[in-house]
Amino acid sequence: MNSSFPDASFCPLIYGPVLSRRHGRSLGINLGIPNQKVCTWGCIYCQCGMGERREIKPSERNVSAREIVSLIGITLKEDPKIDSITFAGNSEPTAHPDFFEIIQGILSLRKELQGEWIINCLTNGSELDRSQVIEACALLDDIWVKLDCGIDDLFQRFNRPLSRIGGLRGHVGRIKKLKDISIQTLVWRSDESPKLSNWTNENKRALLKLYSDLKPRKIHLTTIARDPAVSKLKAVPKTELLEFADQVKKLGLALEVFE
Ligand code: SF4
């Protein structure tokens, strides 16, 4: 995430602003534990390493929602020229028990500071069964839900959700709870271990089917750009990404490719 961090799993509460092709000059917010990656999924491509796949315990959270918003306010007063605030980092942002309050606090900050930046969140969607998370998502300008695998076996092996999250069917059902759907799909290949690749004709066909069903407002298609948790995974060449993008566009859907 940032080469100045001590290791891949480390991510402070507030980082950047970082220059992102997808989100402009963006202030990053990590609602996980700064020095340890703990997530409800365990994606094999995660740039924060394998870490631990579990829930974060309340005792591991030692900064209150009010303090988080106040720290973001201090940072924004020092450096207000940003395009976005992006919830991401080394955990699942919406799994924070006070996610709703934090979003409300940031909206108040934006009003107070007359900020023109947008608020967005990268999510695996694991908490979309909770009504307060859905309400919080409705307050965001953008929420990007992961959909890398259109086949349950690949979803289980590559995204590795906690057992309470269930399979792909449940994941798609949760995405449908959002009023305005934006999807982020990350694809990769592995010449060394082809069984570790999600860049297969079968998965591409399954993703196209799911996109048709979900009808997202936007799709961002990305590939491996930083060191993945499993080192055998490699980026998909741009020409192949663009070929797939053409197939998505034939469905009448908006897709952008980010290498
Ligand atoms: S959902 Fe995000 S943070 Fe969690 S394992 Fe996957 S890539 Fe890493």
Helix, strand, coil content of the chain in percent (nearest 5): 35, 20, 45
Statement: 2-258 belongs to CATH 3.40.50.150: no
Determine whether the shortest distance from the Cβ of 41 to ligand 1 is under 6 A.
yes
Q: Are 81 and 25 in contact (CB under 8 A)?
A: yes
CA-nearest residue for atom 6, ligand 1, is 43
Is residue 188's pLDDT more than 70?
A: yes
Distance 113 CA to ligand 1 centre (A): 32
Answer yes or no: is the C-beta of 122 below 6 A from any ligand 1 atom: no
User: Residue 102 pLDDT > 80, yes or no?
Assistant: yes
**pLDDT of 1 over the 60 cut:** no
Among protein residues, the one whose CA lies closest to atom 8 of ligand 1: 46
Mean residue pLDDT of the chain comes to: 96
User: Looking only at Cα atoms, what is the longest distance across the chain?
Assistant: 53
More confident residue, 7 or 32: 32
- Give the distance (Å) from ligand 1 centre to CA of residue 155: 13
Residue 4 has pLDDT above 90, yes or no: no
**43 Cβ below 6 A of ligand 1:** yes
* Ligand 1 neighbour 42 (Cβ under 6 A): yes
Cβ-proximal residues to 121 (8 Å cutoff; 6+ apart), any chain: 86, 87, 88, 93, 94, 137, 140, 142, 143, 144
For residue 179, pLDDT over 60 is answered with yes
The residues, any chain, with a CB within 8 Å of residue 112's CB and separated by 6 or more, are 73
Q: Does ligand 1 come within 6 angstroms of the Cβ of 147?
A: no
Per the listing, tokens 């030692």 go with 62
Residues 6+ apart with CB under 8 A from 254: 217, 218, 219
72 has a pLDDT exceeding 80: yes
Query: Which ligand 1 atom is the nearest neighbour of the CA of 53?
Result: 5
Q: Using a 6 Å cutoff on CB, does residue 87 contact ligand 1?
A: no
Q: Which residues contact 67 (CB under 8 A, 6 or more apart)?
A: none
Encoded amino acid at 90, one letter: N
Q: Is 80 exceeded by the pLDDT of residue 3?
A: no
Alpha-carbon distance 27 to 75, whole Å?
9
Ligand 1 atom showing the smallest separation from residue 122 Cα: 2
| Structure confidence at residue 83 (pLDDT) | 97
Contacts 24+ apart (CB under 8 A), 71-76: 71/13, 71/14, 72/14, 72/27, 72/29, 72/105, 72/106, 72/109, 73/109, 73/112, 73/113, 75/14, 75/27, 76/27, 76/109, 76/113, 76/115
Is the pLDDT at 158 greater than 80? The verdict is yes
**pLDDT for res 7:** 87
Domain boundaries, the chain: 2-258
pLDDT at 43: 98
Calculate what percentage of the chain has a pLDDT beyond 70: 98
pLDDT at 44 over 80: yes
Beta-carbon contacts of 80 under 8 Å, excluding residues fewer than 6 positions away, are 113, 115
Residues 58-83, mean pLDDT to the nearest whole number: 96
Q: Is the CB of residue 93 below 6 angstroms from any atom belonging to ligand 1?
A: no
Evaluate if residue 138 carries a pLDDT over 60.
Answer: yes
pLDDT at residue number 222: 97
pLDDT score of 26 more than 70:
yes
Q: How far apart are CA 23 and CA 236, in angstroms?
A: 22
What pLDDT, on a 0 to 100 scale, did the predictor assign at position 21?
87
Q: What does the pLDDT look like over 210-229, one tens digit per residue? A: 999 999 999 999 999 999 99
